[in-house]
């Protein structure tokens, strides 16, 4: 059992276990030792971060831990998470590190790891790293301590890679685009790339101050961006999260489209062009039943995984698929990237707008979703509400009520102290009733 790692690295409130400077130093030393098993040669790691104030602290602590084991550190500064995956491979690094808590509030932070192939680490690798943390790591001899160096052009390299995923003649002339960067890692790269492609860019969430990442903006709070689209008469809005590996789209009327609609569009378009590998889309158990039905109507399959873009990517690699993602907006196009890339997905949506001549409101309504309801219950560390008899009984009763009419999914979040209760059902009243019955039982267990 992993104690530190969740579904996407290590995450928590800054200056509280496990997200302390001391723990970051230990993690850096352990992961450095894990990737520097052979003596001799040059060993390097790239480190990126988002715009959180605590990023400075964790960047320094990780650098200390990594260099203490002989790893040379290349500091990228604020860049999107997918840029770290890209730079890990292109700079022939042994390891990539992203310091970010993604869509979480500014007081949180996290540490994500990429292997030399640019893909996130497996559960097995993370378990071995935890064992090294517990055992302690022998430091390198004084003459073998690593060096640290800043890389100033990371976001430009990333931008060129994004543009290279599009047709050479692709331009956005005449298209008015609102881009919401969540005051996060893409606050410079995203507007620059859209401008370079010819778009009339209206930026939102591009003034980070260390404490306002994801605050009233971004993919989890797109209201301001939606209002901006309408007030400026924009053709479309693109909302990223704090580390820019998620995207939510807004059509010209201000309506919001999630990752399921984006994946539906890309999957059917790629299939029509005979470039959807394996005739399938990979998504998680959270994706709407309407998406599955839409794909089936087009002769395509939906391969479901556990929640987390890392598990989506693992299934894509195992099955030879090249498109996957999550309802929350992680879109993975493995022909071009090793992880979810919100801006890349947004650009490919814009490419389809240009190609088809259709409005965003048409392209973001690929299928009619089955009514879906998700509610969260916060718990305190150490509590195990899903093991309580009353909760188990409530879940069983809800499943009985939904049998043949819908589905129920209960899970503990891998990134926040939340129990997530989700159900789908064509009957809205039954949907509300079953979800609330489980939420009430979990809330009672938490407060007991």
Residues identified as active-site: 102
Q: Are 111 and 305 in contact (CB under 8 A)?
A: no
Please choose, from the candidates 153, 152, 110, 151, the residue with its C-alpha nearest in 3D space to the C-alpha of residue 10: 110
Provide the b/e sequence for 294-303 (b: ≥16 CB within 10 Å). Answer: bbeeeebebb
Please choose, from the candidates 74, 87, 84, 95, the residue with its C-alpha nearest in 3D space to the C-alpha of residue 147: 74
> What does the angle CA 353 – CA 359 – CA 365 come to, to the nearest 5 degrees?
95
The DSSP call for residue 69 is T
3 state SS for 117-166: CCCECCHHHHHHHHHHHHHCCCCCCHHHCCCEEECCCHHHHHHHHHHHCC
Q: Is 64 helix (H, G, I), strand (E, B) or coil?
A: helix
Q: Is 49 helix (H, G, I), strand (E, B) or coil?
A: strand
Q: Are 159 and 196 in contact (CB under 8 A)?
A: yes
Which residues make beta-bridge pairs with 377?
419
The DSSP call for residue 369 is P
């Amino acid at each position: 059992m992993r104690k530190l790692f969740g579904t996407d690295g290590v995450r928590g409130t800054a200056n509280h276990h496990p997200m302390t400077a001391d723990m970051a130093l230990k993690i850096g030393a352990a992961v450095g030792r894990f990737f520097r098993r052979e003596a001799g040669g040059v060993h390097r790691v790239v480190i990126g971060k988002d715009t959180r104030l605590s990023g400075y602290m964790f960047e320094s602590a990780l650098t200390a831990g990594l260099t203490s084991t002989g790893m040379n550190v290349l500091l990228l500064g604020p860049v999107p998470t997918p840029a770290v995956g890209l730079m890990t491979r292109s700079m022939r690094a042994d390891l990539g590190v992203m310091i970010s808590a993604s869509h979480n509030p500014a007081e949180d932070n996290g540490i994500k790891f990429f292997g030399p192939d640019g893909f996130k680490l497996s559960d097995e690798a993370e378990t071995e790293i935890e064992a090294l943390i517990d055992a302690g790591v022998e430091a390198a001899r004084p003459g073998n301590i690593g060096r640290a160096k800043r890389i100033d052009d990371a976001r430009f390299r990333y931008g060129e890679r994004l543009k290279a995923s599009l047709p050479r003649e692709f331009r956005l002339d005449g298209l008015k685009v609102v881009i919401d960067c969540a005051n996060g890692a893409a606050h410079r790269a995203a507007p620059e790339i859209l401008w370079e492609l010819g778009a009339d860019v209206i930026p939102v969430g591009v003034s980070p101050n260390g404490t306002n990442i994801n605050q009233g903006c971004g993919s989890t709070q797109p209201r301001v961006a939606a209002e901006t689209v309408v007030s400026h008469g924009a053709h479309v809005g693109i909302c990223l999260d704090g580390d820019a590996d998620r995207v939510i789209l807004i059509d010209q009327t201000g309506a919001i489209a999630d990752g399921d609609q984006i994946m539906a569009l890309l999957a059917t378009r790629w299939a029509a062009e005979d470039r959807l590998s394996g005739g399938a889309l990979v998504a998680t158990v959270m994706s709407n039943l309407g998406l599955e039905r839409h794909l089936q109507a087009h002769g395509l399959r939906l391969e479901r995984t556990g929640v987390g873009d890392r598990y989506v990517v693992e299934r894509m690699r195992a099955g030879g698929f090249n498109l996957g993602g999550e309802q929350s907006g992680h879109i993975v196009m493995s022909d071009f990237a090793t992880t979810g890339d919100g801006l890349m997905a947004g650009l490919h949506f814009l490419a389809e707008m240009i190609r088809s001549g259709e409005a965003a409101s048409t392209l973001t309504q690929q299928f009619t979703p089955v009514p879906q309801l998700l509610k969260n219950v916060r718990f305190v560390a150490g509590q195990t509400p899903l093991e309580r008899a009353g909760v188990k009984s409530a879940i069983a009763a809800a499943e009985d009520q939904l049998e043949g009419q819908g589905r129920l999914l209960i899970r503990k979040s891998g990134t926040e102290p939340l129990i997530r209760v989700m159900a789908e059902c064509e009957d809205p009243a039954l949907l509300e009733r079953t979800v609330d019955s489980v939420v009430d039982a979990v809330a009672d267990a938490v407060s007991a």
